[in-house]
């Protein structure tokens, strides 16, 4: 809808009417395909509408969101908005890195056993 309005008021070229929906489609279904291929989501053969979420992916996603919000809260009251967002992003990145390290170490330990 925003692309249509931008074209109408001549803030965007008419090609946006094709490019924006195509990119949205590619991101949505490409992201789902990546999650299925990496094992973060697994389809249930008995029920095609059900997806099983990996606990590692759930910890990664929910923990990153909490870390981002905590970074915003801790730094946000003392600094500008941009610095608060940066602190939240760093906190989420640290959480993601830690979960990835623990996941890799567990896989290596399983492979060694």
Residues 38-83 have pLDDT tens digits of 888 887 788 878 878 888 888 988 999 999 999 888 887 777 778 8
Q: Write out the two tokens for 1.
A: 């809808």
Residue ranges covered by each domain of the chain: 2-53, 55-112
pTM of the model: 0.62
Give the model's pLDDT for residue 2: 65
Contact 59, 72 (CB under 8 A): no
Name residue 43's beta-bridge partners: 51
């Amino acid at each position: 809808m925003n692309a249509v309005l931008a074209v109408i008021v001549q803030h965007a070229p008419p090609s946006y009417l094709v490019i924006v929906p195509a990119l949205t489609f590619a991101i949505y279904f490409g992201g789902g395909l990546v999650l299925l291929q990496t094992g973060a989501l697994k389809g249930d053969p008995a029920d095609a509408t059900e997806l099983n979420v990996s606990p590692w992916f759930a910890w990664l996603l929910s923990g990153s969101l909490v870390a981002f919000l905590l970074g915003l809260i801790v730094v946000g009251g003392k600094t500008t908005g941009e610095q608060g967002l940066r602190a939240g992003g760093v906190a989420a990145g640290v959480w993601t890195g830690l979960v990835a390290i623990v996941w890799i170490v567990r896989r290596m330990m399983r492979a060694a056993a």
